[in-house]
Amino acid sequence: MDTIITYSLRDGREHSDQYYCDVAAFTDEVLAEASGRVGSVVTAFRSWLEQTGRETPRTSPEYVFEFLTLGVLWRVYASRAKGLAAVPRQALAGLARLRETSSVLKPAVDPLRGVLAALFLHPTAGRPAPDPAPTVAHLARLLGWLAAAGDFCQEVKRLQAWPGFLADQPPEQASATLAAVLDLAAWFEARSAAVLGRYTPHVERFLTETLPGYRWREDAVFCGRRRVEYHLNMVGTEILNRAFRPAFLATARQMVIVPPCMKARSDNECQARPTPHGARCAGCTPGCRVRELTQLGDTHGFAVLIVPDELAVFSSGRGEPVRGAAVGVVGVSCVLTNAPGGWETQALGVPAQGILLDYCGCSYHWHETGIPTAINVGQLRRVLAIDHDEQRRGGDA
C-alpha cells in the first residue's frame, strides 16, 4: 500500500480514476453554487478589469477560482496577517523575491527565511489576533502577509487587482462584496470536506504530529497548508485545465514536465542525461515511472523532461524554443503547486494542462529519504488526447 503523508488521490484503490470523476463533478457543483452567490460580483469584476485595461478578461470560472482563493486564504491567514508588523513583513517579502530571482543566493537566503518565518509567520508567533472584518485595508495586509510568506507568489499576482476594484466601490458595497466571497469560501470549506476529504485523510495528522518539527525550516508555511487549501487547489487545477484546454489542443507538439520525485532512483544514482531544458530519462531502471512515461512519449511523439522547478524550463531565456502556441506543456506536480503553476504558465504564454501527483513524497518537503511518486497514466493519455487520436487513425501509430 502507498505511504500517505498528507493526501492520496487513490483513496485505497489501485488507481485514481474515481478521484478525477469526483473532482470534475464537484467542480461543476462549485461553479453552479458560485453563480448563485457571487455571479453579479464576477460580472462587475470583469467589467471593471475591461474598463481599467488591467488585463484581457478571462473566463468566468477562472474568476470564480480567484474569488475562492481570496476567500479561503482570508479565512486561513487573515488573523495572522493582522498581527504582522511592517518591518518583518517587508524583510520577509524582500527575501522571498531574492530567492526567486537568484538561485545562487537561495541556499544562503533559505535558512534566514526559516528563522524569520518561525518568529513572525508561524501561527504561534506574537499575540493571537481575532479575524479582522472584511475591509480593503485588511485585504492589503493579507496580501502583504502572503507576499512575505513567499509561497503564494501567483496567488498574490492574481489577487492584486482586488484592492483597486473594491476601492472604486462605496465602503458598504465593498464590505458586502468581501462578505459574499467569504461566505462562498465557508460553504466551499464544508462542502469540499464532504466530497474531497476522502483524498486528504492525513493532512490533520501531519499538521499535528509532523509539522512542529518544521518550525525553523524555510518550507514550514508551505508544508503547513490546511486541508481546505488542498481541496481549493484540486478544484483550481480542474478549472484551469478546462479554461486552457482549447489552446493546448491547438498546439502542434507537447511536452510533459515531471518532478524528480517520480524517479525510482536517487539523484546520485539516476542516469538521466542533462539538457538545456531539463534531464531526459536514460531508461536505467525498469519499473521507474519516468521511464514508463518516456517510453509512452517515444511511442506517441511527446517529450518528457525531469525538472526540479517545473517552470524553470521557461526562465532565463532557456525556454524560448518551447514557448508559444507551437508547444503545449503538461505540468506534473503535487496538489499544492499545480494550480499556481497553471497561472504562471498562462502568464508566460504557454498553453498548458496540469496533472496531479497521486500522492506526495519528495525529500525536499515531505519525506526524509523520499518516496517515488506516481500519476494516473490514463489521465495523462486523456489530457494528451492519445486514445482519441488512436481511434481517429484506426489504431496505434
Is the per-residue pLDDT at 42 higher than 50?
A: yes
Is the per-residue pLDDT at 81 higher than 90?
A: no
- Could you write out the three-class secondary structure of the chain? CCCCCCCECCCCCCCCHHHHHHHHHHHHHHHHHHHHHHHHHHHHHHHHHHHHCCCCCCCHHHHHHHHHHHHHHHHHHHHHHHCCCHHHHHHHHHHHHHHHHCCCCHHHHHHHHHHHHHHHCCCCCCCCCCCCCCCHHHHHHHHHHHHHHCCCHHHHHHHCCHHHHHHCCCHHHHHHHHHHHHHHHHHHHHHHHHHHHHHCCCHHHHHHHHHHHHCCCCCHHHHCCCHHHHHHHHHHHHHHHHHHHHHHHCCCEEEEEECHHHCCCCCCCCCCEEECCEEECCCCCCCCHHHHHHHHHHHHCCEEEECCCCCHHHCCCCCHHHCCCCEEEEEEECHHHHHHHHHHHHHCCCCEEEEECCECCCCCCCCCCCCCCCCCHHHHHHHCCHHHHHHHHCCCC
Q: How far apart are CA 338 and CA 327, in angstroms?
A: 19
Q: Evaluate if pTM is beyond 0.85.
A: yes
- Furthest-apart CA pair in the chain: how many Å? 67
Backbone angles phi, psi at 258, to 5 degrees: -115, 155
pLDDT, averaged across the chain = 86
The whole-number pLDDT of residue 109 equals: 67
Q: How far apart are CA 382 and CA 245, in angstroms?
A: 12
Tell me the three cell numbers of residue 136. 480593503
* pLDDT tens, position by position, 49-73: 999 999 888 999 999 999 999 999 9
Q: How many residues does the chain have?
A: 397
For 75-86, what is the mean pLDDT? 82
Neighbouring C-beta atoms of residue 181, cutoff 10 Å: 24
The whole-number pLDDT of residue 7 equals: 97
Burial class (CB in 10 A: 0-12, 13-18, 19+), 243: middle
Tell me the three cell numbers of residue 110. 533559505
Strand partners, 331: 257, 354
For 104-108, what is the mean pLDDT? 65
Q: How far apart are CA 238 and CA 174, in angstroms?
A: 29
Is the per-residue pLDDT at 393 higher than 50?
A: no
Residue found under cell 487573515: 78
Q: What percent of the chain has pLDDT over 70?
A: 81
* pLDDT tens, position by position, 223-253: 999 999 999 999 999 999 999 999 999 999 9
The closest alpha carbon to 295, from 377, 390, 358, belongs to: 377
Neighbouring C-beta atoms of residue 108, cutoff 10 Å: 11
Most confident of 83-87, 108-112, 144-148, 305-309: 144-148
Q: Rounded to an integer, what is the distance from CA 160 to the centroid of its chain?
A: 17
Q: How many Cα atoms are found within 13 Å in the side-chain-facing hemisphere of 183?
A: 11
* pLDDT tens, position by position, 276-327: 878 999 999 899 999 999 999 999 999 999 987 544 444 444 444 455 558 8
Backbone angles phi, psi at 240, to 5 degrees: -70, -35
The whole-number pLDDT of residue 388 equals: 61
* pLDDT tens, position by position, 145-190: 999 988 999 999 999 999 999 999 998 899 999 999 999 999 999 9
Tell me the three cell numbers of residue 95. 527575501
Q: What percent of the chain has pLDDT over 90?
A: 65
Comparing 254 with 318, which gets the higher pLDDT? 254
For 348-377, what is the mean pLDDT? 94
For 70-81, what is the mean pLDDT? 92
Q: Rounded to an integer, what is the distance from CA 298 to the centroid of its chain?
A: 28
Q: How far apart are CA 394 and CA 38, in angstroms?
A: 46
